[in-house]
Amino acid sequence: MITIEKTSQSRLQELDLNKLPFGKVFSDHMLVCKFDGTKWEQPVIKPYGTIEVSPGMQVFHYGQAIFEGMKAFRTDDGRVLLFRPERNHLRFNKSAERMCMPSISEEIFVDGLKELIHTDLKWVPSEGGSSLYIRPFMVSSGELISAQPAQEYTFMIISAPALAYYRGIIKVKVEEQYSRSAAGGTGYAKAAGNYAGAFYPTKLAQEEGYTQLIWTDAATHSFVEESGTMNILFRIGDKLVTPPTSERILDGITRDSLITLAKDMGIEVEERRVYISEIMEAAKNGELKEAFGAGTAVTVGQIGEIGFRGERTAIPTPEDGYAMKLKKALQDIQYGRAEDKFGWTVEIK
Ligand SMILES: Cc1ncc(COP(=O)(O)O)c(C=O)c1O
């Protein structure tokens, strides 16, 4: 049972949903649920607003914080669809386990999410390519400055309308010094600290004119892992090649969906170790036909340039290649324009 306290004053009328900066304006309600040391209490949906916390709250000191990112889509006929929410729930609990936090039930995560979006249904924009970005997260909320896992935790879900996301063609730099994850580390978890640690090397690359990084393995920096906050795929000849997920890589839901769609289209997909030397070689001899990132925010982001050891190599970004075909196929399902033959969408009623 979820308690719902509705706002008496929606902020919706004051806003033009089709002209919002991403991630700054939040919808009317949020879900809050507390873990008291032994069990999750009853979730509450209440008006979005600030929360008062103690400076001794453990997350500020030891960083037990995890999150998810997902979207709700409005179809042409006005329905609202979630995309594979059970995968986000599973991944959230994997992240929780790695960060020594309590797992959360489907009733709280998935049903809470549905109830929250149902409460803020009007916040799901209808303009082409837009969506409601949903951010479930959990932090340690006990009051204790001792380096140990907390007893108390707070799980929350907030959401923010997002316009169609077009970042343009991405320029990536192959990172050979810094790492976002290593064997035995937390790379597969959506832990907040992974992102904080990535900001500095990303900033350095941006100062050189790149959009983001290609992360290579921490031990040898010789094979490709991810690109920024996206999984990465290459078209070499007619094959789609992508690194397998591992303890160092986030198991992206977009990546998994694109692989399924590609196979369904008859495209040969290889999940295997991808050496950066092989990619640069393929780029030079014309075998590398496309490179692209995959993630919830961007869906598919075409890579038009790879920088490796100071040399910048252009990569084709065809309008009718694998990247754009797969993006369209995925979005057609997300926006309810194509048959959902894999059972990925969940309608909010
Ligand atoms: C590090 C990292 N890799 C990959 C992804 C893509 O995952 P998904 O497709 O589930 O959004 C994300 C973004 O969520 C990410 O943060």
Question: Which of the listed residues 117, 133, 162 is the one where a domain comes to its end?
Answer: 162
The reported pLDDT for the residue numbered 167 is 66
CA-proximal residue: ligand 1, atom 7 (nearest): 252
Taking residue 336's Cβ as centre, other Cβ atoms within 10 Å add up to: 19
Please give the number of the atom of ligand 1 that sits closest to the Cα of 230.
4
Please give the number of the atom of ligand 1 that sits closest to the Cα of 255.
9
Q: How far away, in angstroms, is 214 Cα from ligand 1 center?
A: 14
Question: Which of the listed residues 162, 182, 213 is the one where a domain comes to its end?
Answer: 162
CB of 330 within 6 A of ligand 1: the answer is: no
Q: Cβ distance 172 to 227 under 8 Å?
A: yes
Same domain (yes/no): 142, 255: no
Report if residue 60 sits inside a domain: yes
Report if residue 187 sits inside a domain: yes
Write out pLDDT tens, residues 17-59.
777 888 889 999 999 999 999 999 999 999 999 999 999 999 9
Write out pLDDT tens, residues 66-119.
999 999 999 999 999 999 999 999 999 999 999 999 999 999 999 999 999 999
- Would you state the structure tokens that stand for residue 140, as one six-digit string? 């340690």
Same domain (yes/no): 230, 286: yes
Provide the CA 83 distance to its chain's centre, in angstroms.
12
CATH label of the domain that carries residue 286: 3.20.10.10
Same domain (yes/no): 34, 90: yes
CB of 252 within 6 A of ligand 1: the answer is: yes
CB of 231 within 6 A of ligand 1: the answer is: yes
In whole angstroms, what is the distance from residue 190 CA to residue 128 CA? 29
Give me the number of domains the chain comprises: 2
Report if residue 340 sits inside a domain: no
CB of 254 within 6 A of ligand 1: the answer is: yes
Question: Which of the listed residues 128, 145, 162 is the one where a domain comes to its end?
Answer: 162
Same domain (yes/no): 152, 213: no
Tell me the pLDDT band of 141, cut-offs 50, 70 and 90: very high
For residue 338, the 8-state DSSP code is S
Probe ligand 1: pick from 172, 225, 231, 255, max atoms within 8 Å of CB? 231
- Would you state the structure tokens that stand for residue 332, as one six-digit string? 């057609």
Query: What integer is the mean pLDDT of 337-341?
Result: 97
Report if residue 342 sits inside a domain: no
Please give the number of the atom of ligand 1 that sits closest to the Cα of 228.
1
Amino acid at 168: G
Same domain (yes/no): 280, 222: yes
Coil/strand/helix, residue 333: helix
Coil/strand/helix, residue 104: coil
Report if residue 329 sits inside a domain: yes
Query: What integer is the mean pLDDT of 219-234?
Result: 97
Write out pLDDT tens, residues 230-259.
999 999 999 999 999 999 999 999 999 999
CB of 243 within 6 A of ligand 1: the answer is: no
In whole angstroms, what is the distance from residue 36 CA to residue 38 CA? 6
The pTM (predicted TM-score) of the whole model is: 0.97
Same domain (yes/no): 128, 243: no
CA-proximal residue: ligand 1, atom 1 (nearest): 229
Helix (H) or strand (E) holding 225: strand 224-227
Same domain (yes/no): 108, 256: no
Task: Show the domain range for 265.
Answer: 170-334
Find residue 3's DSSP bridge partners.
Answer: 44
